[in-house]
Amino acid sequence: MFRCGRHSCKDYKEYKDILAHTLENYSLRSFTTFKIGGKARYFNVCESIEALCESLGWCTREGVPWFVLGNGSNILVSDKGFPGLVVKLGKMFKQIKFHEDTVEVGAGVLLPVLSRYFLEHQWGGFEFMCDIPGTIGGAVRMNAGTKEGEIKDQFVLALMLTPNGEIISIDKGGMEFCYRKSSPEHKKNIVLGAQFSFSHFSERHAIREKIKQIVVARRQKQPANRRNCGSVFKSPSGSQSAGWYIDKAGLKGARVGDAMVAFEHANWIVNVGNAKAEDVKGLIEKIQHEVFKQYRLKLEREVIYAPDDLW
């Protein structure tokens, strides 16, 4: 799909001359599952490696911060927006190529889409992806998963574009996967795609039934309001989940502005109206304060703040 080696990120012209479709002061609200967030100073959909290189080259020269936005399902964009370039990956990065015992997946492929491909090819072990609303790029970055499985389980390698234009291959050891994160060493690299190994063969009806069970179980405990970011906090070590502590602290239904702790699952915050990023942050701080006061436990955020956690 992509080859390791160096691409020219330095041979650029003026950014707008090369990427004529770059938009300025573009709202990011519709690109996040929270439906919250301000505007990006610059916004572009990159359809090729060359376009990514040109973007990075321009950002490097001008000192402009940047980040690649996947499906926007685990991110809270500031009300003030992002003071640099936000990139979305185009169709070239949404390819899936099956081989005899591996599959190459572009960073822009949605996990539920990939799950359907595994179903058609009768590859078992990937059913956990069926209801995670993220892309492979973001999933690799944070080792996305559920109790049924994680990205690292069948992960072979990731291809990444470095800021200086080199495509590098990082294997599982180099990713240093752990619970909901990977090595910070690769924070400034762009995930282009990943390769996964064959787990085991399963009949389609068996995979379909397992997917159905997963979806039904999640629907029973997840909020009907889909304007959320999924799990807000990482589960602490021990037998109890973050949601359990939040629930026992009496915080279901707690609100700051139009941000509310979901009644169906206490580790989810939903946008019940026109919530602002500051509302969500305020509610997160309130939850952390109450849980710590009652249980002496500091909950760690899973949701990413943009730009605070990125630059």
Active site residues: 180, 231, 302
* Cα dihedral 126→127→132→133 (10° resolution): 80
CA torsion through residues 206, 211, 217, 219, sign: negative
Residues ≥6 apart with Cβ < 8 Å to 99: none
Contact 265, 221 (CB under 8 A): yes
- ω into residue 307 within 30 of 0, thus cis? yes
Q: What is the DSSP letter of 240?
A: S
Contact 96, 104 (CB under 8 A): yes
Alpha-carbon span 58 to 11, nearest angstrom: 10
**In degrees rounded to 5, what are phi and psi of residue 262?**
-65, 140
Residue 165: strand, helix, or coil: coil
Token match 């090819």: residue? 121
Alpha-carbon span 127 to 206, nearest angstrom: 10
End-to-end CA distance of the chain: 30
The set of long-range contacts for 20-27, using a CB threshold of 8 Å and a minimum separation of 24, is 21/45, 26/86
14-29 burial string, b = 16+ CB within 10 Å, else e? Answer: ebeebbeebeeebebe
